[in-house]
Structure 1
Amino acid sequence: MGKQLTAGDICKRKVTVGYKQTSLVAAAQLMREDHVGSLVVVDDENGSRQVRGLVTDRDIVMSVVATGLDPEPLRLEDIMSEHVVTANEADSLLDLMRSMREHGVRRVPVVGFQDELMGIVTMDDVLKILAQEMNTLVGSIDVGIKQERARRQ
């Protein structure tokens, strides 16, 4: 058997981050530039980035645009989710999926031993891994069929 995949193995290490005082307009522009649907809100403490919140493109639309608020004076701290579901680098892929399901989240920041931000895993990342694993299983079916045909000739 192969090694069990962990959150640390599959997370993207380049994370687009913002700070509580980052303007909402600047945050939206950063999300657009980096082609991401979320920002992890962090504080820099003792040289490490500590997760303080999460803001998604949906948060901006639902909390600001759809309610007719002026985004100009708003900061990330005004709309960020403060109770962020995180995963430890050592958490298994299965534990990560269970946590995403249990909390109904699509994005999970990955933290290290001292709760410092190490990466982020999205539902898309998990689905790609699962699709690759399913493809491997399909390949084993094809090999089995070919081997059986060769034995019967």
Structure 2
Amino acid sequence: MGKQLTAGEICKRKVTVGYRQTSLVAAAQLMREDHVGSVVVVDEDNGSRRVCGMVTDRDIVMAVVATGLQAEPLCLEDIMSERLITVAEADSLTDLMRAMRDHGVRRLPVVDAQDELMGLVTMDDVLKILVRELNMLIGTMDAAIRQEHVRRH
């Protein structure tokens, strides 16, 4: 049996980050430039980036646009999710999927033992891995059919 993939192996290491005082407009522009749907909010301390929240494009729409608020005076800390779920680098793919399901989230910051931001895993990342694994199983079925065909002819 092969080893299980871990969050540290799956995650994207280039993460779009902002700070508590980053304006919502600047954060939205970062998301657009980086083609991502979220900004991980960090507190920086001696070069260490500790996760303190997250803001998604949906958060901006639901908390600001849909309520008629003006985005200009607001910053990330005004709407960020503070009850943030993170996963450790050593957590397995199964752990990731369980955390996403149990907490109803599509993105999980990956942290090290000191809770420093190491990367981000999205549901898209997980789905790509699962599709690859399912394709391997389909390949196994196809190979078995070919081998049976060779044996019978």
TM-score tier by shorter-chain length is: over 0.9
Counterpart of 2:150, as a letter, is: A
5+ residue gaps, structure 1:
none
Q: CA RMSD in A?
A: 0.6
Find the counterpart in structure 1 of residue 88 from structure 2: 88
Deviation digits for residues 76-103 of structure 1, max 9, x if unmatched?
0000000111000000000110011000
State how far apart, in whole Å, the 1-side matches of 2:56 and 2:5 are: 26
State how far apart, in whole Å, the 2-side matches of 1:75 and 1:47 are: 22
1:38 CA displacement:
0.2
**SS in structure 1 at match of 2:14:** coil
How many residues of Structure 1 are paired with residues of Structure 2 in the alignment? 153
State how far apart, in whole Å, the 1-side matches of 2:90 and 2:45 are: 22
Counterpart of 2:51, as a letter, is: V
Counterpart of 1:117, as a letter, is: L
Identical amino acids, percent of aligned pairs: 76
State how far apart, in whole Å, the 2-side matches of 1:56 and 1:12 are: 17
Deviation digits for residues 12-52 of structure 1, max 9, x if unmatched?
00000000000000000000000000000001112210000
Segments of 4+ moved more than 3 angstroms: none
**SS in structure 2 at match of 1:55:** strand
Q: TM-score, normalised by structure 1?
A: 0.99
Deviation digits for residues 101-131 of structure 1, max 9, x if unmatched?
0000000000011110000000011001000
Map 1:135-150 → 2, pairs under 5 A:
135-150=135-150
1:59 CA displacement:
0.2
State how far apart, in whole Å, the 2-side matches of 1:106 and 1:28 are: 18
Map 1:102-141 → 2, pairs under 5 A:
102-141=102-141
**SS in structure 2 at match of 1:25:** helix
Counterpart of 1:91, as a letter, is: D
State how far apart, in whole Å, the 2-side matches of 1:71 and 1:47 are: 29
State how far apart, in whole Å, the 1-side matches of 2:66 and 2:93 are: 35
Counterpart of 1:28, as a letter, is: A
**SS in structure 1 at match of 2:41:** strand
**SS in structure 2 at match of 1:146:** helix
Counterpart of 1:98, as a letter, is: R
State how far apart, in whole Å, the 2-side matches of 1:93 and 1:120 are: 13
Q: TM-score, normalised by structure 2?
A: 0.99
**SS in structure 1 at match of 2:72:** coil
Q: Does 1:68 align with 2:68?
A: yes
